[in-house]
Amino acid sequence: MFTEEELRKVEEHKSHYPDNLSAVMGVLHMYMDKYGHITDEGVTYVASLLDVPEEKVLGVVTFYEMYHQHKTGKYKLQVCTNVSCMLRGSDMVLQTIKDKIGIGIGETTSDGVFSVHEAECLGSCGTAPMMSVNKDYHENLTPEKINELIDQLKAQA
């Protein structure tokens, strides 16, 4: 559950709006950052923090792509396959990842370190092809860059 400092952050979120329900997205982001996914207990906890009905929180969780109800890899490789990235080599990105760690879209490595996801346009079309790894953007990808990045992540996992 949240620390004192995190609870202060929750209060700050609440203070931005005339209605507590509006703070739900910010608090869910905090929960995601801390636990990696949002369980039923998470929904109950967030609802109690904001004093709003659980169904409302669940309705928000299930609508958005970024709130996961299930565990993903420690490093989420979100590969953009939308048009501008496709034109500049998103196929290569997926293939390089597959060759390197043996998994494709929707899969997680058995050690739970990596998962690969197909992403919609992430607003990096001018530096395509790209993927995000958790909150970091990696742009103008080449096979060398991808291999290097994965090695680096493996080392720190």
Partner 1 sequence: MTDYQPVLLPGTPDLHRIDVYEQHGGYGQARRAMSMSPEEIIDVVKDSGLRGRGGAAFPTGLKWSFMPKDGEKPSYLCVNGDESEPGSFKDRQIFEFNPHLMIEGILIAGRALRIKAAYIYIRGEYEKWVQMVEKAVADAYAKGYVGEKMKETFGGDFTCDIYVHRGAGAYICGEESSLMNSIEGIRPYPRVKPPFPAQVGLWGCPTTINNVETIANIPVILDKGAEWFKSIGAEKHPGPILYGISGHVNKPGVYELPTGMLLTELIYDVAGGIPGDKKVKMVIPGGSSMPPLRGDQLEGVRMDAESLKDVGSAIGTAGIMVMDEDTDITRILTRITHFYKVESCGQCTPCREGTGWMLKVLNRMLDGDGTPKDLDLLHSVAKNIEGNTVCALGDAAAWPVKFTIERFRDELEAELQR
Size (the chain), residues: 157
Q: From its phi and psi, is residue 89 left (phi > 0), alpha (psi between -120 and 50) or beta?
A: left
Which of partner 1, ligand FES, none has residue 130 at its interface (CB below 5 to 8 Å by kind)?
ligand FES
| Residue ranges in 80-99 that form contacts with partner 1 under rule CB under 8 A | 81-84, 86-88
Strands of the sheet with 114-119, listed across from one edge = 114-119, 75-80, 131-133, 136-138
Which of partner 1, ligand FES, none has residue 23 at its interface (CB below 5 to 8 Å by kind)?
partner 1
Nearer to partner 1, 92 or 125 (CB): 125
| Residue ranges in 103-142 that form contacts with partner 1 under rule CB under 8 A | 120-128, 132, 135-137
| Residue ranges in 121-140 that form contacts with ligand FES under rule CB under 6 A | 121-125, 128, 130
Nearer to ligand FES, 112 or 123 (CB): 123
| Residue ranges in 35-54 that form contacts with partner 1 under rule CB under 8 A | 52
Which residues of this chain interact with partner 1, rule CB under 8 A?
Answer: 16-26, 28-29, 52, 56, 59-60, 63-67, 81-84, 86-88, 120-128, 132, 135-137
